[in-house]
Amino acid sequence: MRTPALRWWPSRPSPARGYRSCWRPCGSRSRCEQRRVPFQLRLRARGERLSEVSELERDELVAYLALAQVPGIGAARLRTLTAAFQSAGAALQAPHGAIAALPGFGRAAATAVRAASRGAAHALLEQLDRLGASVLLPDDDRFPPLLRDIPEPPALLYAWGDVGLLARPAAGVVGSRNHTAYGGAAAQFLAAGVARAGVVVVSGMARGIDATAHAAALDSGGASVGVLGNGFGVVYPAANRSLYERMIACGCLVTELPPGERPHAHTFPRRNRLISGLAGVTVVVEAAAGSGALITADCALDQGRTVLAVPGPITSPTSLGCNKLIQQGAKPALCPGDILEELGLPGTADPGPMARGQTPEGTSESAGAPPRGQPPDLTELQRSLWDALASEPQHVDALVAAAGAETSAVLTALTELEMRGLVKQEPGMRFGIT
């Protein structure tokens, strides 16, 4: 697949963020059929090029995209139009007065709709076709089911990569752009662990925790979906260029913004609702009081989804947001099993009491008791870690140094040992033999 020219757009500061006081959502909202456009439009097979769909489907898609590009139209008005006139093509040809009479429209909006350009929509489709990307409408079989149920579902979704990932169980992993070593290690540990269990890691393609989570999922042999606050063809931030290329080849990028659209301050909060909307559970790894990751947590609650947070040092400003979430009722995320449990994945949710540092019933712990012998069937890296933990629990940084391996590889090996009930995680990213 030919990779297009990618543009750089400079960073802009994010606005201050806040967090909610209520942590008891009312539950998942029921599916509202009125949110779905009333016509069927499916580009069926993964990898099917837009130029290969039927002429009727393409004409309707062009009409829908033309309406979607009308300034100020928005997803809600677009749904109103397609519902009132039964198709996007009919809406484009509807009389000015009929459009103006619709709820929430008026003469100015009707004039804008009548000026919608099919030519611009044709050019957009040709651009997507050249990229090898897709556009998914709400009635497309490949449109993420969870996104149909959120309060503000997108009118469409542009996807580039493996669209099939959008239907798999997913966990959102978000956090600070300026993370600490602790936050980075926690993001790697959690993302790699759930990815190896078959869960898709969803994040926002920002630097920091987002990029760390995406890379950890891919490095572990798992899958990841990146949600952009800009259109395809714009790399933001520029330092993530290689990650963009990896995600297109091995994962999937999605956005509700057309190709070439640059990022702005208002596009990131709307992106955040898609991160939580694609995921059954959202995990905030490290966040200061004003972190944008807390907006994603807010969105998850508004959508009736579960929020977890990684606890951090009480003296660290970068953990203030996460610690506050836990204080308000969010469940702590201490290991990948906590996330898998919330996703309801049987057989992978909890490796057992020993892996959680609990003493089995009828036994007692002795602080000076030596660890049991080395288990069989360990990899070379796992044996190295086991030997390093033989005398006492160790911080993850010490284990990385002792093993002489990459941090992501060490965290993956620790996750495997933890899932087998052989190793437990202790506070402060320390690990010990159970």
pLDDT in tens, 46-98: 334 555 556 667 888 899 999 998 988 888 889 899 999 999 999 999 999 99
Q: Average pLDDT in the 171-184 region?
A: 93
The reported pTM is 0.70
- Residues 211, 207: Cα–Cα separation, whole Å: 5
Q: Are 220 and 253 in contact (CB under 8 A)?
A: no
Element (H, E) at 284: strand 281-284
Q: Average pLDDT in the 142-158 region?
A: 92
- Angle at alpha carbon of residue 108, lines to 123 and 256, rounded to 5°: 40
Total Cβ atoms within 10 A of residue 243: 21
Reply yes or no on whether the pLDDT at 153 is more than 50. Answer: yes
Reply yes or no on whether the pLDDT at 287 is more than 80. Answer: yes
Reply yes or no on whether the pLDDT at 285 is more than 80. Answer: yes
Mean pLDDT for the chain?
81
Q: Average pLDDT in the 223-231 region?
A: 96
pLDDT 10s digits, 245-281: 999 999 999 999 999 899 988 899 999 999 999 999 9
Query: Which long-range contacts does 371-379 make (Cβ < 8 Å, 24+ apart)?
Result: 371/433, 372/433, 375/420, 375/422, 379/413
pLDDT band at 146 (very low <50, low <70, confident <90, very high): very high
Contacts of 30 (CB under 8 A, 6+ apart): 149
- Residues 205, 302: Cα–Cα separation, whole Å: 22
Could you check whether the bond before residue 237 is cis, i.e. omega within 30 degrees of 0?
yes
Share of the chain above pLDDT 70, in %: 81
**The architecture CATH gives domain 353-433:** Orthogonal Bundle (1.10)
**What would you report as the CA-atom Rg of the chain, rounded to the nearest whole angstrom?**
24
Q: Are 146 and 254 in contact (CB under 8 A)?
A: no
Nearest-10 crossing angle of helices 267-278, 293-302: 50
Q: Quick one: tokens of 46?
A: 């993964």
Reply yes or no on whether the pLDDT at 311 is more than 70. Answer: yes
Please state which of the ranges 98-107, 283-292, 371-380 shows the lowest mean pLDDT.
Answer: 371-380
Class of domain 161-342: alpha beta
Q: Are 403 and 381 in contact (CB under 8 A)?
A: yes
Q: What are phi and psi of 321, to 5 degrees?
A: -65, -45
Could you check whether the bond before residue 371 is cis, i.e. omega within 30 degrees of 0?
no
Q: Quick one: tokens of 362?
A: 């009828």
Q: How far is CA 158 from the centre of its chain?
A: 15
pLDDT 10s digits, 366-409: 333 334 567 877 888 988 888 888 888 888 888 888 888 888 78
Across-strand partners of 254?
159, 227
Reply yes or no on whether the pLDDT at 171 is more than 50. Answer: yes
- Residues 173, 286: Cα–Cα separation, whole Å: 10
Total Cβ atoms within 10 A of residue 316: 15
Reply yes or no on whether the pLDDT at 296 is more than 90. Answer: yes
State the pLDDT at residue 394: 87
State the pLDDT at residue 50: 53
Please state which of the ranges 14-28, 228-242, 305-319 shows the lowest mean pLDDT.
Answer: 14-28
Please state which of the ranges 72-81, 126-135, 302-311, 359-368 shows the lowest mean pLDDT.
Answer: 359-368
**What sign for the dihedral angle of Cα 112, 113, 119, 121?**
positive
AA identity, residue 148: R
Q: What are phi and psi of 236, to 5 degrees?
A: -140, 120
pLDDT band at 143 (very low <50, low <70, confident <90, very high): very high
Q: Are 161 and 247 in contact (CB under 8 A)?
A: yes
> Coil, strand or helix: which one is 158?
strand
Q: Are 66 and 91 in contact (CB under 8 A)?
A: no
Q: Average pLDDT in the 20-42 region?
A: 30
Domain extent listing, the chain: 34-132, 161-342, 353-433
> Looking at per-residue confidence, does 2 or 220 come out higher?
220
Reply yes or no on whether the pLDDT at 346 is more than 80. Answer: no
Could you tell me how many residues make up the chain? 434
Reply yes or no on whether the pLDDT at 314 is more than 70. Answer: yes
